Amino acid sequence: MNAATQIGYGHVVEVNASFDEALAAVTKALEAEGFHIVSDIDMCQSADALGQEFRPYRILGACNAQLAHLALSAEPQLGLFLPCNVVVQDIDGRTIVSAINPTFIVQSASNRSLKHIAEDANARLLRALNEVACQAKVT
């Protein structure tokens, strides 16, 4: 598999793993980078509640407490953009993992002290995505 590709607001990678395998691998890789999953939205369940079907699609809210503390100390309203979302989805039998680019988020804030925090968070998320892609290649 390839390394994660940058898109306008995040990063995306297709992995050679099942949806469930990728979900477990993403959680493990995020934890290795200091993130904890603080929210987990299952779009299948949400669609089911509406009487509709939807492909496997999970939105994981990932939070690195240390980085969040630094960012919120510098910009109290930044919590509107937290946590960092990571998505695991199945598109026509292909497992796709994507993550927000925190540097995109802080562009909305005029606080320059957030730049290095966002760059750190972005590097960690990118390493996690690439780790998932590498693990899937090997297995």
Write down the pLDDT at residue 52: 86
Residues 6+ apart with CB under 8 A from 80: none
The domains of the chain are located at 5-138
The partner residues of 12 in beta bridges, in order of sequence, read: 5, 98
Write down the pLDDT at residue 82: 93
Q: Yes or no: say if 58 and 89 are a contact pair by the CB < 8 Å rule.
A: yes
pTM value is 0.91
Q: Which superfamily, per CATH, for 5-138?
A: TT1751-like domain (3.30.310.70)
**50 to each of 45, 46, 47, 96, how far by Cα in Å?**
9, 7, 5, 25
Average model confidence (pLDDT) across the chain: 91
From first to last of the 139 residues of the chain, give the pLDDT tens digit: 468 888 989 999 999 999 999 999 999 999 999 999 999 999 988 877 778 888 999 999 999 999 999 999 999 999 999 999 999 999 999 999 999 999 998 887 888 899 999 999 999 999 999 999 987 654 4
